[in-house]
Structure 1
Amino acid sequence: MRTSRIGCGAGFSGDRIEPAEDLLRRGGLADLVLECLGERTIALAHQRRLADPGTGYDRRLPSRFERLLPLAVDHGVRVLTNMGAANPLAAGRVTRALLDRIGSSAKVGVVTGDDVLAELDLDALAWETGLPLRAHGEIVSANAYLGADAIWPVLEADADVVITGRVADPSLFLAPLAHRLGWDLDDAQAAAAGTLVGHLLECAGQLTGGYFADPGYQDVPGLADLGFPFADVAADGSAELGKLPDTGGLLSRATVREQLLYEITDPAAYRTPDVLLDVRGVTVDEHPGGVRVAGALGKPRPDELKVSVGYRAGEKVEAEISYVGPNAARRAALAGEIVSARLAGVPMRAEVRGGETDSRLRVAAISRDSELLTRVGDEVESLYTNGPAGGGGVRVHIGEVIGIVSALIPRERVRPAVTLLEAGHAVAP
């Protein structure tokens, strides 16, 4: 039966790069996905773009691609990533320039249209608060979770590197699988199978023992050399999960089942842009060569898309002071009591971290009142001479906070687009 091999080279923005290089060198992949975007990271990306319109893409994109793209080109592996974050076109131009420098004619495809700020209904209710979006203050960003159908045109245009902004994590895997295996994205069962594979692979090392290890209870060998996963996906939707030989980590029925349940709010109807995924009948069978999964079911894609909405939530202060030596923990706790008494009525959090002889007090608060935040920092700094003995190492940081809430937007109000960046210039298909 026809199969296609797809691997995951990153499960979040700060992931290691060596396992991705290993997959490109000896994984025999058709496609490699770098899944690097989350609610937190896209909020930070929007912060950067607000300060400098030329930025907003994943700051690690240049360094990652300098190491990975030459290998991908040499081994004929198509690369897909959401490292475009808040500025996919800028990310595409950076990628195009890198390919030009190494003399590659590989085609870069950029998927846009997830930015739906202009289309947002401010009376829509936020999932997290139940309040209208307008009640959260100034809205600065709104990114819809695009699906595999948004990526499809750039694959049909034979792009070798695909860069997106906010695309649902499993959709980054479903699109290339459907393209390789001839699946119809309107087929809910095919979409369910590809979404299951994408959901299992999307966190990279989390499937192969990372975030699973618990010494003495769930032992995982070789975490320092953790190998990232791949899947051989058959035309019938079944998949064999594996990792490269001579790599650390553990791929087992237990690690797969744990990842299967990750972020699944409703196992009968996990909502994605491509399908309502039902994982209740999924089988997970371990064998000496890996783990086989099958049995995903699906209902047709929803008429509404999730949208991640960023708003100015004020500023945050983080102020810290350390205490060391005998009785340090009690001195740090006393320092916290002093600050709490001095700032009675101020919404904040004071906590002591560390042990009996090395403790650090951390005080944090979020507010739209900058004078109040300055006062919080000043109170912690004043502990140098107005608090317990031996305080030192004060650090005070105040920075803007972009809050994130979620809502729904009608699918017809989201208009994905594709830009192709070929050697030396950009053209629209």
Structure 2
Amino acid sequence: MTLIPSTVRIGAGAGFSGDRLEPALELVEQGNLDFLVFECLAERTIALAQEARRRDPAGGYDPLLIERMRRVLPAARARGVRIITNAGAANPLGAAHALAGLARDLGLGPIRIAAVLGDDVLAQIKAAPHPLIERPGSTADFAELVSANAYLGAAPIVDALDEGAEIVVTGRVGDPALFVGPLAHAFRWRLDDADLIGRATVIGHLLECAGQLSGGYFADGDRKQVAGLARLGFPLAEVDADAGAILTKVPGSGGCISIATCKEQLLYEILDPAAYYQADVIADFTGVHFEELGPDRIRVHGGSGRPASGLYKVSLGHDEGYIGEGQISYAGPHAVQRGRMAIDIVRERLAITGAKVADVHGELIGVDSVDRTDRIGGEPREVRARIAGRADDEQSAAAIGAEVEALYTNGPAGGGGASRSVRRIIGIVSTFIRADLVTPRVEFVEG
């Protein structure tokens, strides 16, 4: 009979694909963890991963996965820390095989790795039109969909851990589910207990962005100071069987965990705090409370949930052609005027040459590229002009950068540091799919 622990310690080892590597190792070595989660997928990431898998059928998983695990896995294995990650991206099974090879190379002995499959629902989406969420229209409006991945819930992660997985590699799952799964496994929670899973979703949502909870993305000059951001410590939670938790980090690591950082992360990317839709539950964050127990120790309790909707959100990747871009800098007196002149010249040149580009956009970085409100004080003495536009093909998109580069000798005085680029664009839209059309499953790879 499996004993149910009084508390479970679960850490956040990454909040995005390119996150720092050393904070996760610090958590494993000093955090006394039971589980470590690497959350590595953004909406566009998985569509790009699908493209990578088309080029290489063995690829399509997170490019940092192997290096991340090379750093962490020996210490995790020695301490019995089990790892859950969505870094499988478009190819969880391929990632599991790659990790098994890594474990053999590291001499770690037999290791049980689970791949969670079933989030790829491209065939189901193509079988019938599905209304889009963000705008009018349906999935039938796209001549070619690059990817369609459903946000799975915690159930297959629980199944994998129940069957002895030491590493669980998923594709697209709801970010909080990466944390709900190991907690539900450890505490033997029923996933249809909406209030309990709603509270667990609070914990998962707080941890999912890793360093954001411990002061990353929080500092704001003198108004909100955070010490030690260069060696930011990632958070962990001491969770009890009723889905209350103490949020903390490794003592002596950089950053801070405070009521303010927790409140900001609780509301991060939340449209309606009373109805946060996940595959497992509709979570309600409005009853969440934070209590400071000491430095970098915040107790979180409360929250609730309602039964799941029976729908899974699906992230769709589609081809949007190419973006061509050019940049050039101007400094000294009248820099803003010269920068605006450069933008006007490029626009006119694109019209004269008949370049097949659309949505051409010009901006001055440092003046109006992000904040378009009225400036206070004088004009800056250095700016960088950026001109970008869309095209259906790579050659047409390249015309923009070529015209920017030509400003060296054919534009305003003093231009320098020109750069040019062309990149393919994968657009992202969303729809819903009935849960009964999605079949999550687990496959094991022995390392």
> Normalising by structure 2, what TM-score?
0.91
Written as runs of structure 1 = structure 2, the 5 A alignment for 1:36-47 is: 36-47=40-51
In the alignment, does 2:20 pair up with 1:13?
A: no
Q: Unaligned stretches of 5+ in structure 2?
A: 352-356, 367-378
Bigger mean CA deviation after superposition, 261-270 or 164-173? 261-270
Written as runs of structure 1 = structure 2, the 5 A alignment for 1:174-189 is: 174-189=180-195
Corresponding position of 1:400: 424
Structure 1 distance, partners of 2:228, 2:401, is 43
Q: Given the alignment, which residue of 372, 387, 403 partners 2:411?
A: 387
In the alignment, does 2:15 pair up with 1:3?
A: no
Q: Given the alignment, which residue of 107, 110, 116 partners 2:115?
A: 110
Whether the aligned pair in 2 keeps the contact of 1:47 and 1:402 (CA below 8 Å) is no
Amino acid at match of 1:349: H
Structure 2 distance, partners of 1:361, 1:73, is 51
Corresponding position of 1:231: 237
Structure 2 distance, partners of 1:314, 1:359, is 29
Displacement of 1:52: 2.2
In the alignment, does 2:62 pair up with 1:50?
A: no
Displacement of 1:325: 4.3
Query: CA 1:346–1:166 in 2, change beyond 3 Å: closer, same or farther?
Result: closer
Structure 1 distance, partners of 2:418, 2:50, is 30
Corresponding position of 1:296: 303
Corresponding position of 1:341: 348
Structure 2 distance, partners of 1:114, 1:399, is 27
Q: Given the alignment, which residue of 83, 100, 105 partners 1:101?
A: 105
Whether the aligned pair in 1 keeps the contact of 2:154 and 2:181 (CA below 8 Å) is yes
Displacement of 1:34: 0.5
Displacement of 1:222: 1.3
Secondary structure of the structure 1 residue equivalent to 2:359: coil
Bigger mean CA deviation after superposition, 42-51 or 179-188? 42-51
Corresponding position of 2:375: none
Bigger mean CA deviation after superposition, 325-334 or 254-263? 325-334
How far does the alpha carbon of each residue in 1:292-313 deviate from its partner, in whole angstroms, 9 at most, with x for none? 1111100011211000001111
Corresponding position of 1:322: 329
How far does the alpha carbon of each residue in 1:326-379 deviate from its partner, in whole angstroms, 9 at most, with x for none? 433322221012122334594211112248444322111123255542332332
How far does the alpha carbon of each residue in 1:22-49 deviate from its partner, in whole angstroms, 9 at most, with x for none? 1100111000000011112212212222
Bigger mean CA deviation after superposition, 309-318 or 370-379? 370-379
Amino acid at match of 2:115: V
Secondary structure of the structure 2 residue equivalent to 1:256: helix
Structure 1 distance, partners of 2:325, 2:51, is 18
Structure 2 distance, partners of 1:255, 1:392, is 41
Structure 1 distance, partners of 2:358, 2:186, is 57
Written as runs of structure 1 = structure 2, the 5 A alignment for 1:138-149 is: 138-149=144-155
Corresponding position of 1:426: none
Displacement of 1:151: 1.5
Amino acid at match of 2:53: R
Q: Given the alignment, which residue of 65, 90, 110 partners 1:86?
A: 90
Whether the aligned pair in 2 keeps the contact of 1:146 and 1:305 (CA below 8 Å) is yes
Aligned-residue identity in percent? 49
Displacement of 1:63: 0.7
Bigger mean CA deviation after superposition, 341-350 or 1-10? 341-350
Whether the aligned pair in 2 keeps the contact of 1:267 and 1:278 (CA below 8 Å) is yes
Secondary structure of the structure 1 residue equivalent to 2:104: helix
How far does the alpha carbon of each residue in 1:92-124 deviate from its partner, in whole angstroms, 9 at most, with x for none? 111000111122212111101100000115521
Amino acid at match of 2:30: R
Bigger mean CA deviation after superposition, 316-325 or 241-250? 316-325
Q: Unaligned stretches of 5+ in structure 1?
A: 424-429
Structure 2 distance, partners of 1:134, 1:350, is 33
Q: Given the alignment, which residue of 153, 163, 166 partners 1:160?
A: 166
In the alignment, does 2:266 pair up with 1:257?
A: no
Secondary structure of the structure 2 residue equivalent to 1:266: coil
Corresponding position of 1:213: 219
Structure 1 distance, partners of 2:36, 2:358, is 49
User: What is the Cα-based RMSD across aligned positions, in Å?
Assistant: 1.7
Whether the aligned pair in 1 keeps the contact of 2:153 and 2:174 (CA below 8 Å) is yes
In the alignment, does 2:68 pair up with 1:64?
A: yes
Bigger mean CA deviation after superposition, 270-279 or 136-145? 136-145
How far does the alpha carbon of each residue in 1:35-81 deviate from its partner, in whole angstroms, 9 at most, with x for none? 01111221221222222222111000111010010010011100000
In the alignment of these two chains, the number of paired residues is 423
Amino acid at match of 1:196: V
Corresponding position of 2:371: none
Query: CA 1:150–1:204 in 2, change beyond 3 Å: closer, same or farther?
Result: same
Corresponding position of 2:372: none
Secondary structure of the structure 1 residue equivalent to 2:305: strand
Query: CA 1:156–1:346 in 2, change beyond 3 Å: closer, same or farther?
Result: closer
Corresponding position of 2:175: 169
Bigger mean CA deviation after superposition, 181-190 or 76-85? 181-190
Amino acid at match of 1:15: D
Structure 2 distance, partners of 1:346, 1:120, is 30
Structure 2 distance, partners of 1:126, 1:393, is 42
Structure 2 distance, partners of 1:362, 1:276, is 42
Structure 2 distance, partners of 1:256, 1:21, is 23
